[in-house]
Amino acid sequence: MRIFLSKILKLTAAMGAGAFVALAGPLSAEEKKSDGGKYVTADGTPTYNVQSDGTVDWYTFSGFRRYHAECHVCHGPDGLGSSYAPNLVDSLKTMSYEDFQTVVINGKQSSASSVMPAFGTNKNVFCYLDDLYAYLKARSDGAVERGRPAKREPFPEAAKAYEKECMG
């Protein structure tokens, strides 16, 4: 776990994100800042930006794509859960970013029949933890409706460089 957390710290620092801190509810525009198109809270927690016309930031859109490529098989479409795995829209109402990372990277066993596998070695998940969190937090806060966001901001150069570095 130490190797993965070390890599996460290095990668998120390269992206402009800071410490892992809990996010409490929807944010106002004053509480967000953009660094290369990435939105974070004042304390560095990844977040989303949804414009009045429904346009989402690139990272939230990327989180939607990654979620539906890797997570929805168990957690259901749009993070609403299934008979197999919990509703993440509800879970992110109280789950901190640090706890989210820990569960996704290391997995979690709640009972003999409830097991979240570890995704710390899956680059399609690991490299996009911030994006996944931003998307699911936007769903949790009601800022993004079900389904594919109709509009998104362009793919930032900073995101292209990070993706190239992380994916190898």
**What pLDDT was estimated at residue 166?**
92
- What distance in Å separates the CA atoms of residue 38 and residue 130, rounded to the nearest whole number? 9
Whether the pLDDT of residue 140 is over 50: the answer is yes
What does the pLDDT read at residue 65?
95
- Written as one letter, the residue type at 27 is L
Is pLDDT above 70 for 142?
A: yes
Give the count of beta carbons closer than 10 Å to the beta carbon of residue 55: 15
Domains of the chain: 2-167 (1.10.760.10)
Which regions of 75-155 does DSSP assign to beta strands (E)?
Answer: 108-111, 114-116
List the beta bridge partners of residue 115: 109
pLDDT tens-digit profile of 112-137?
A: 666 888 888 899 999 999 999 999 99
pTM of the model: 0.79
pLDDT digits (tens, 9 = 90+) for 24-54: 345 555 557 676 789 998 888 999 999 999 9
Torsion region of 19: left, alpha or beta (phi above 0 gives left; psi -120 to 50 gives alpha): beta
Beta bridge partners of 35: 38
CA–chain centroid gap for 82, Å, is: 19
What are the φ/ψ torsions at residue 115 (nearest 5 degrees)? -130, 125
- Note the pLDDT tens digit of each residue in 64-113: 999 999 998 888 898 887 877 887 888 989 999 999 999 999 988 876 66
Give the pLDDT score at 147: 87
pLDDT higher than 80, residue 16: no
* Confidence band for 145, pLDDT divided at 50, 70 and 90: confident
Q: How far apart, in whole angstroms, are the C-alpha atoms of residue 89 and residue 142?
A: 9
At residue 57, does pLDDT exceed 60?
Answer: yes
Name which residue leads in pLDDT, 37 or 23. 37
For 14, the token pair is 């390269």
**Matching residue, tokens 């509810």:** 25
- DSSP secondary structure, 11-45, as one string: HHHHHT--------S---GGG-EEETTEEE-TTS-
Tell me the sheet residues that pair with 108: 116
